[in-house]
Each structure stands twice: as structure tokens, then as C-alpha cells.
Amino acid sequence: MAPRHVLRCCQRSLSWIPVIFINLVVGWSYYAYVVELCILTIPNNAEKISYLVVFHLFFIMFIWSYWKTICSRPANPSKEFCLPNVEKEQYEKEEHPDTQQEILKKVVVGLPVYTRTGTGAVRYCDRCLVIKPDRCHHCSTCDMCVLKMDHHCPWVNNCVGFSNYKFFVLFLAYSMLYCAFIAATVLQYFIKFWTNQLPDTHAKFHVLFLFFVAAMFFISILSLFSYHLWLVGKNRTTIEAFRAPVFRNGPDKNGFSLGFSRNMAEVFGDQKKYWMFPIYTSNGDGNSFVTRLVNLDPEQIAVGLQINGKSSVDCPASPKHVLGDTVNHIEDHQDGSFDKTDVAETVTVTIESES
């Protein structure tokens, strides 16, 4: 036990190396830009002051969003996803996977869980001993189940998920703007030093190297930021982009997409005035998500069945479980009727768009 504990402590200590590296680079860039460029190189006071004001604006937002991403603890499933004591004992005593699944299926009936494993089984974490909510995954690095897990990022030494995904996207945005501003304003002095139009002082190394570092980081962050903006617009995580979530009726890569505006609001919140600030404004609780397609059992159908000429069914679920903008319809039979046993297998649900 002792060597394992020591190894775990060493791993945790080493995991901070990327964070320390980023902070050292940012600290040097601050010194190089403020002292070596603005104070020692730029002769015009108006230009110097304007550069410093804009630089510090991007710097503050960059550091704020970066450390919010680092310090936000990953959100875990709520207690309702833990097995009750009786079912937990039955599950642990049972050796047959099929019987274990039957136990899980009984428990999951009352939970807002609509995704399954690739084989159609209920997603259960044997390490955390919880039924996994939709979009929740177990992070082997953090050793916990993380709500709406996107990925584990070594550069922030944290899991990026429901609790800090907005902060992570803002961190990418402000770091990109920070690098772009540095590269754009340093460029003319980079050229002057390169062509020997300015005296060869110790500031030359800092200015030349600052431009290369800023340009390099800008290009790499731009691609990552663009990718995550695309994910936000599609309402997908990185995991879901590589492996489509499996619902009761099969995999659907767009199962959580509600339209661009609602997808953006799910991450950044309903009030646009807070979108650019690294403060928590995301919608929902991370334990359940609005889906485009929901399967209902026969009891739920009896409550919400409503026939409107074309045999469409309106979803009677609560706002947490209702559908988005996409309207799906039950296939009409030739005589206008439909078989209720078929509906029990896969129910196509509709909801009117919210005004």
C-alpha cells in the first residue's frame, strides 16, 4: 500500500509540470512585452500606453479563465444515481452479467437516463458504483466519473467537463487573442531588429523570440479553438465526436443537438452579457440533458398519448426530458391507425418550438 501511495503522490506532482511550464512561458511573455518592448523599446508614449492597456485586458481575461479551468472541480453524478442499498447488495452478490443488468434496468426506470453502452446495456461504473448519467464518463486520470466529460487536459491538470467547459473555451479564446495581439504589435519591431534598424540591445532577443513564440502558439490554439466552437455549435463533446452516443433506438451523433442557439446557451447560459466572462452560467445540472429523441415505456405513453390526425405523440416528460427543435413523427399506417406495441419499442416524440 505504501509504495502505491507514494507512486500516486509522484504522479500527482508530475502532472503539474505542464501547468508550471505554461505559467513560466506566460510570465516571461509578460516581462518581455511590458518591460523589454513597451518600456525599453517603444519611444512613443501614446503607442506605449495604448499597447499596455489592451495587453493587460487580454492578459487578465486569459489568466482568469485559465485558472478557473484549473480550479473548478469536476462535477460528479448526484446521489440519485447510486444504487439503493438493497439493489447494491444484490448486484454485488450476483455473478451473472445478465442478472446484474436486470437489477440495473429496474433502478434506471426512474432516472433520466436515455443512453446505453454499444451493446445496449445500462452504463454502470464499477469503480464509482454509480449508474452513469447521460454524457458522463469515468476519467482514469482523475479516478472519478465526470459529468458531460469532454477530455482530460494535461495543460490545466484537470478534467474538462460540465463544470468548467465554458471556462475552457474562454481560456482558448483569450489565449488566442493574447497571442494574436502580441504577434501583431511586436511584428514591426521584430522587422526593425531583424534588419538592424534598431540598436543591438538585450531587448532584441526578447522581441525576436516573443514574436516566434506568440505566432506559434496562436496557430496551434486557433485550430483547437475552432474545433471546440464547432463542438459547442453541434452540442457534442470530444468523446461524442469520436464515438456517437448510443440511445435506446441506436447511436445518434446529433442526439443532444437542439439547434445552434440553444446549443450555445447550454454551455454559455441564457444571458449573453455574461458569455465573455469566466463565471459559471451554463444551463442545467449536468445529470440530465434535453434530447431530440426519447424512448418512452408503455406507462409513459398512456399519460402523454395524443392523436392529431397524423398519429403524432407529444412528449409528456418534464422540461428536463423534453425534445428540442427537431420534430420526429411516428410512421403512419395505411389506414391511419398504429400498433401500440410498436410504439412501446420506439416512440417518436414531438414538441413545439419554444417562442
**Which active-site residues does the annotation give?**
153
Grid cell digits, residue 112: 433520466
- Grid cell 523570440 is found at 209
Judge contact between 129 and 217, C-beta under 8 A: no
Question: Cα dihedral angle (242, 246, 252, 253), rounded to 10 degrees?
Answer: -20
Quote the CA–CA distance of 328 and 310 in Å, as a whole number. Answer: 12
Whether residue 350 contacts residue 315, with contact meaning beta carbons closer than 8 Å, is answered with yes
Give the number of other CB atoms < 10 A from CB of residue 319. 8
Type of residue numbered 160? V
Tell me which amino acid residue 40 is. L
Residue 133 backbone phi and psi in degrees, to 5: -65, 165
- Which residues have CB under 8 Å from 22's CB, separation 6+? 66, 155
Residues 290/307, Cβ–Cβ less than 8 Å:
no
